[in-house]
Structure 1
């Protein structure tokens, strides 16, 4: 049985940890509110812009001729992984890495064995996880979540777009956590490049819209495509940011509850140890008194 001092030290240590996890939960809750507001405001705009891009690209010669719409034989793949820079958020980062590995195994197993699947990581944990698994991390963007802005994400989007346009990669896929609620994050895998045409266009799905272009179709489409791609990646990063805070809030809440349960057990052990020590001292005193008598 542990000594009273050892149990007392453990109680102090667990109490300190509980205070830290409780504070981290409160910080995550405050950040979550702002992140949730940002993604709720972004979703309708990103969705509508994506629909417009898909419709225009599938029904326009300019969209089809864009370097970002060229469909090529897939010989080299780039995966954009959106994770966090820090841990202590449960399985948030692990789930993205597992989804990436499953996606590679299901679609690019042969290319992966040839070393033709590489990673662009937004977030430190994704870069570390894929490096440990033997994948080359082409680029890693860290610190974006410290002061999250469109300008910071734009650089990563432009890098991926440039590498696809110059033929360095034939396919670019995006994997991230989509925010549903505080306790639930959904892993999404989306085709980033080449631009996916609208499968419902002219096939009984959404109506075939005839857009009027001003000043001209070529200029509008050439400006719309890069902007839409950057917005698509920015939305994924906002989704991941809100998901991270939700996951960290949930993880810290569970850690606080676990610390409370552990404190109950430790206090019970402490009281039992203390009672045993007192009983032992009483028996020694009684035994000494009888010996003197």
Structure 2
């Protein structure tokens, strides 16, 4: 049985850990509210813009000439895994790493792979591999804004337009709620048309476009694609704080359970020590009486 000093040290250590996890849970809860507000506000705008773009491009004679929609034989692939900069958020980051590796094995076996990580954890994971690594944009979460994310999106778009990549894929966590994040492996380029309720409604709308339909497409397509990447980053950011809040809440509960066991052990050890002292005193008194 452990001595009292060891048990007391363990209790002190667990109490300190519990205070840290509780504080981290509160910080994540505060950050989650802001991140959740941002993604909730972004989703309708992104969906509406995509629906309008699909409507306009579908009815345009020059839609097939959109450079970002051109399909070609896939030989070179750019994958953009989006993780966090920090850990202590459960399986949040490892799920993205696993999904990226799974996509490479199942979809892009034998292709030339380039990784553009967004988030320090993705950068650290893939810099140990033999894949070509773009290390310019992994610090986007240090100062998260549309301008910062836009640079990474433009890099991918320019690479696709120049023929450096035949396909660009996003891997990120979609935010559902605090306890649920869904890993998405989504084709970014070439543009894939998605059928949605919003699009079905918009498809019946006849837009009057100025100065011209071709000009609108030329301006709208790049903007829509950049917003798509920004939306994925915001989804990941909200998911990160939700995952960390859940993980820290569970860690705090586990620390509480461990404290109960340690305090029970401490009391038992203390009782045993007192009992032994009493027995020693009684034995000594009996010995003195016998002598």
Q: Does 1:64 align with 2:64?
A: yes
Hey, what's the Cα distance between the residues in 2 that align with 1:198 and 1:32?
29
Q: Cα–Cα, structure 1 residues 88 and 96, in superposed 2: closer, same or farther, change >3 Å?
A: same
Q: Does 1:256 align with 2:260?
A: no
Q: Aligned residue pairs: how many?
A: 286
Q: Does 1:165 align with 2:164?
A: no
Q: In the TM superposition, what is the alpha-carbon distance from 1:133 to its structure 2 partner?
A: 4.7
Task: Give the superposed CA RMSD.
Answer: 1.8
Match of 1:7 in 2: 7
State how 1:70-109 maps to structure 2 within 5 Å.
70-109=70-109
Which range is displaced more, 130-139 or 31-40?
Answer: 130-139
Hey, what's the Cα distance between the residues in 2 that align with 1:168 and 1:82?
21
Q: Among 91, 94, 114, which residue is 1:118 paired with?
A: 114
Q: Deviations over 1:170-189 (max 9, x none)?
A: 00011111111000011112
Match of 2:227 in 1: 231
CA contact (8 A) 1:55 1:198 kept: no
Q: In the TM superposition, what is the alpha-carbon distance from 1:199 to its structure 2 partner?
A: 6.1
- Structure 1 unaligned blocks of 5 or more: none
CA contact (8 A) 1:178 1:185 kept: yes
Q: Among 135, 138, 141, which residue is 2:137 paired with?
A: 141
Which range is displaced more, 8-17 or 63-72?
Answer: 63-72
Q: Deviations over 1:232-269 (max 9, x none)?
A: 00111111111100000000000000000000111111
CA contact (8 A) 1:175 1:187 kept: yes
Hey, what's the Cα distance between the residues in 2 that align with 1:165 and 1:279?
81
CA contact (8 A) 1:18 1:259 kept: yes
Match of 1:217 in 2: 213
Q: In the TM superposition, what is the alpha-carbon distance from 1:105 to its structure 2 partner?
A: 2.0
Q: In the TM superposition, what is the alpha-carbon distance from 1:129 to its structure 2 partner?
A: 2.1
Hey, what's the Cα distance between the residues in 2 that align with 1:98 and 1:44?
30
User: What TM-score, normalized to structure 1?
Assistant: 0.92
CA contact (8 A) 1:122 1:140 kept: no
Hey, what's the Cα distance between the residues in 1 that align with 2:250 and 2:195?
43
Hey, what's the Cα distance between the residues in 2 that align with 1:134 and 1:271?
55
Q: In the TM superposition, what is the alpha-carbon distance from 1:39 to its structure 2 partner?
A: 0.7
- Structure 2 unaligned blocks of 5 or more: none
User: What TM-score, normalized to structure 2?
Assistant: 0.93
Q: Deviations over 1:20-42 (max 9, x none)?
A: 00000000000111111111111
Q: Does 1:32 align with 2:32?
A: yes
Q: In the TM superposition, what is the alpha-carbon distance from 1:132 to its structure 2 partner?
A: 3.6
Q: Among 157, 175, 184, which residue is 1:188 paired with?
A: 184
CA contact (8 A) 1:63 1:222 kept: no
Q: Deviations over 1:74-118 (max 9, x none)?
A: 00101111110000000011111111122222211222xxxx112
Hey, what's the Cα distance between the residues in 1 that align with 2:138 and 2:192?
28
Match of 1:23 in 2: 23
Hey, what's the Cα distance between the residues in 1 that align with 2:53 and 2:14?
54
CA contact (8 A) 2:82 2:172 kept: yes
Q: Among 130, 135, 146, which residue is 1:150 paired with?
A: 146
Q: Cα–Cα, structure 1 residues 77 and 95, in superposed 2: closer, same or farther, change >3 Å?
A: same
Q: In the TM superposition, what is the alpha-carbon distance from 1:60 to its structure 2 partner?
A: 2.3
